[in-house]
Amino acid sequence: MFAVTFRWPGRLSGAALVAVAMMLFDPQGARAEPGVPDPPNGLLTDRGKGEVSDADRDFAVKVRLAGLWEIPAGKMAQEKSDDPRIQSIGRDIAAQHVALDKLVRDAAKKLDVELPDEPNSDQQGWLAEMRDAEGEDFDRVYIDRLRAAHGKIFPAIATIRASTRNDTVRKLAQRTNQFVMTHMTLLESSGIVNFAALPTAPPPNAAPNGPAGAAQLQTAGRSTTTTSVGGAPVVALVLVALASAAVTVFICRHFIRDSRRSYSYRRQRGRYFTS
């Protein structure tokens, strides 16, 4: 009885190791998608410190203008659309722009940046287009106009966030980026975004000639060998393979040793009972 009881933990641990080995051989099935982090906005200062460029001022103006037309557009979506999903999108985007508008007004006051009080001519034209549309026509106009507008300001936010010298503008850009990404996602959830009508990304710049260009190409070549295969880094796959092999060898040795002990025990037990 003692020998049988002693072998159970070994068998259980062996089964667990087999499960681990199977997960290592199939890392995609075992690895959960990591949570996408939210930017730690609290780590950014907001003291109005640093030079304020013309681009920074223009950015604040654009954020203000976005709210001046998207808030009334969202209200129209709630009143004119027959689709509950469009109504919900309009309500959420309008409410969030109210919050963003307060952020940009507070930043502008701190930095002494003058903000507009009404939409520009293009935005007024989009609002007029929505007022003239009904039903599904309104839904398409609302979704397409807002999605196109968010797509235009999206790269501008990235430029300001990466280059501004002013901490208040930096924090405003980071917060604005979160609003814009949320709004793009909400608009796309309608299922009626005309992606084919959106502007295409410019082609990548050609590599320069000469030694600098050759160095860039060599760097690109080295990067290619260490990027991903099927979404997983090559280095990670190699480590997984090595770990899998090590676990497999350990399991095999464990079971062989366990089998030998069991066989030796049975032989001794047979001799004991036949002696």
pLDDT in tens, 191-239: 999 999 998 988 998 655 555 554 544 444 444 433 333 444 444 555 5
Alpha carbons 73 and 78: distance in angstroms, whole number: 9
pLDDT in tens, 127-179: 999 999 999 999 999 999 999 999 999 999 999 999 999 999 999 999 999 99
Would you state the structure tokens that stand for residue 9, as one six-digit string? 């933990």
233 strand-pairing partners: 228
pLDDT of residue 36: 81
pLDDT of residue 40: 92
> What contacts 216, CB < 8 A, 6 or more positions away?
207, 208
Confidence tier at 71 by pLDDT (50, 70, 90): very high
H/E stretch holding 229 = strand 228-229
Q: Taking 60 as the threshold, does the pLDDT of residue 15 lie above it?
A: no
For the residues 58-81, what does the mean pLDDT come to? 98
Q: Taking 90 as the threshold, does the pLDDT of residue 110 lie above it?
A: yes
Residues above pLDDT 70, as percent of the chain: 63
Q: Taking 90 as the threshold, does the pLDDT of residue 257 lie above it?
A: no
Q: Taking 70 as the threshold, does the pLDDT of residue 273 lie above it?
A: no
Alpha carbons 143 and 138: distance in angstroms, whole number: 8
Lookup result for tokens 């405003």: 172
Q: Taking 80 as the threshold, does the pLDDT of residue 54 lie above it?
A: yes
pLDDT of residue 226: 39
